Amino acid sequence: MFCFVLSSIALLTFVNNARAVWEDLISDSLTDYKTFETYWEYLYPWGQDHNGSARMYGASDDHNHVYLEDNTIVLKASRINWDEGKSTADPYPVIHYHSGAIHSKQTFTINDQFPDYEFKGEFIAPTKGGTWPAFWLNGAWSWPPEIDILEFKGNNVNWFNTFRTSSDVSTRKDTVSNPNTWHEYRVWITKVSNTDMDIHFYIDGEWKAKHTANHVGKPFHLIMNLQMEGSSGGNGPSGDTYYKGRNIYVGRSNNNCTGDCAKKAAATTTVAPAKTETKAPVQTQPQNSNNNNSSNDDQWEVLIDDSLKDYKTFESYWNYLYPWGQDHNGSARMYGASDDHNHIYLEDNTIVLKASRINWDEGKSTSDPYPVIHYHSGAIHAKQTFTINDQYPDYEFKGEFIAPTKGGTWPAFWLTGVKSWPPEVDILEFKGNNVNWFNTFRTSSDVSTRKDTISNPNTWHEYRVWITKVSNTNVDIHFYIDGVWKAKHTANHVGKAFYLIMNLQMEGSSGGNGPSGDTYYKGRKIFVGRTNTKCTTCGKKATTTTAAPAKTETKAPAQTQDSKNDCFSYPTYPCCVGNTVYYVDEEGSWGVENGNWCGIKSNASNAANPSTSCWSKELGYNCCTHCSVVYTDESGKWGVENNNWCGITC
């Protein structure tokens, strides 16, 4: 193991780790079996079996399926013609192959001492149907976490996956030209907070994607394996299959690399993550949400609310059908108009979409992938479009829904690009079962997904997103169900106009044939609001909604107003009787009483007295200048100030 002092460019990435040096953990490990077995173990860390139909074989005296050849590791899968039972690992497939796997002897943990890691290698990967090669990081203590650096599933598409939980997954898919020749696959991982790290993915030195995950402090195994069938989507080949790797490398920054380690340092390694080449100058990372560009006097305006009480009101906010017409990617064709409420109708301040199976030939959908039309159904979209930018840095979209979950049903409440697809943000999407999909499409292959099993989705549940501008290009998207925060995605959606759509599509991605009877999808209390930094008519502050990106819903207490005028906000806003702070700007501290904003007197007996120590700075958030707690987690107590999270220190 050798350490290298970082070059001056590389040191820019370590402004908080000025004494860090770079050390090689695995390099040139494939020259001979003695060297190889110094760094690597045969099989998986847990044994021979995993989630495919190949059982792994290999040992110091068995190189039939794991062997070295010209500084290259070769894994060979061979089909067997006898019964060897089933895999001992879930989902317990029948064993059809003997193959090879290796894993590093050392495990790898991102933490304060080792805040940066690089994993890379060159590979020739099989892509025939039924082949499933991978080069990946897997939790040493539990699964998840998982980070897939290379994964092909029976074709020439590589999957970069990051599993935070089994249902919270980010994926980037790239079609690789001629994967049966050598290509380099690489990840650069860097610690960005006490819990989170950024994971940068590359192919042949070209930056492809960044995922963020709460994997700090979790040890990883590094694995290379040739699994078969399983997720590759079909039967594997009858002949032998080969998967080759060379120039496999692991390195990291070490903040405590001293003594002999530091003496060996040499300015030879630049480790900053690059978008355009393997090693390049530092990139500027997106700001945290507390650094958005909205000013202190941002104003909240309601765009859609109470729009479902009658058809006149409804049609002032909503259009029938999709923005582009009747068809989309499922087997339902949409019908609806001012004089046609068979599939789109109002009922007790509720919008109802009804899908009915047809028994005649209506041809195919005009949209890719052109499925045969089996249903008439309903879709609506907002007349207004929505763009996150400097003037409108924050948006809230929410509603309560009863969603069908039978096989073949596909309801959704979602945002899609006006000028192109992607972008897309799915607020509600069920695919024939009781799992809701929160999806964010940056490109067709760069997707973040959070999946949540909903207890009884056939009753009312609230689905919500809060979107806030965090840089010139990026937004943070916070997802909630019934007021409970579920996930955050980051996407380059600033300046992109969105449609808001509610539709009941059928079959397609729902995974099967739809029902023969009618299907209903209901929505109520659909709301859209935003911050408007240039609003002069909507009032200093609106009180119809809570604009802060809350992790749990909070409602202001009802209190009696005080008519005394000894506060900064009088006479525009009354003075508060109490001193509970809900918002702070350059004018002072604001409370909410009787559903209205009020100014808190500067001499209030329980005024905020925060300490000088700001614990939340380490997590990328300023500390509050008040003491009103709206959320508590393992990090501490949180408030909201200027529409941003802040740490409570009092």
Fold (CATH) for 15-257: Jelly Rolls (2.60.120)
State the DSSP code for 259.
T
Mean pLDDT of the chain: 83
State the DSSP code for 9.
H
- Calculate the CA 177 to chain-centre distance: 27
**What's residue 437's pLDDT?**
95
Both tokens of residue 4?
A: 């290298």
Q: Which of 118, 429, 462, 641 is catalytic?
A: 429
Distance CA 393, CA 468 (A): 6
What number does CATH give the domain 299-532? 2.60.120.200
Listed in sequence order, the residues at least 6 apart from 160 whose beta carbon sits closer than 8 Å to its beta carbon are: 148, 149, 151, 171, 172, 173, 174, 201, 208, 209, 211
Listed as ranges, residues in the chain with pLDDT below 50 are 1-19, 260, 262-298, 539-563, 605-611
Distance CA 390, CA 403 (A): 35
**What's residue 284's pLDDT?**
25
Both tokens of residue 112?
A: 């304060």
* Residue 429 designated active-site: yes
Q: Which of 184, 301, 424, 641 is catalytic?
A: 424
Distance CA 401, CA 351 (A): 9
**What's residue 630's pLDDT?**
59
Find the angle CA(415)-CA(446)-CA(480) to the nearest 5 degrees: 45
Distance CA 223, CA 236 (A): 22
Residue 498: left if φ>0, alpha if ψ -120 to 50, beta else—which one?
Answer: beta
Q: CB neighbours (10 Å) of residue 69?
A: 10
List, by residue range, all CATH 2.60.120.200 domains of the chain.
15-257, 299-532
State the DSSP code for 256.
T
**What's residue 518's pLDDT?**
96
* Residue 84 designated active-site: no
Tokens 């009781």 belong to which residue?
434
For 425-448, how does the pLDDT look when each residue is reduced to its tens digit (9 = 90+)? 999 999 999 999 999 999 988 999
Listed in sequence order, the residues at least 6 apart from 324 whose beta carbon sits closer than 8 Å to its beta carbon are: none
Contact between residue 308 and residue 526 where contact means Cβ atoms under 8 Å apart: yes
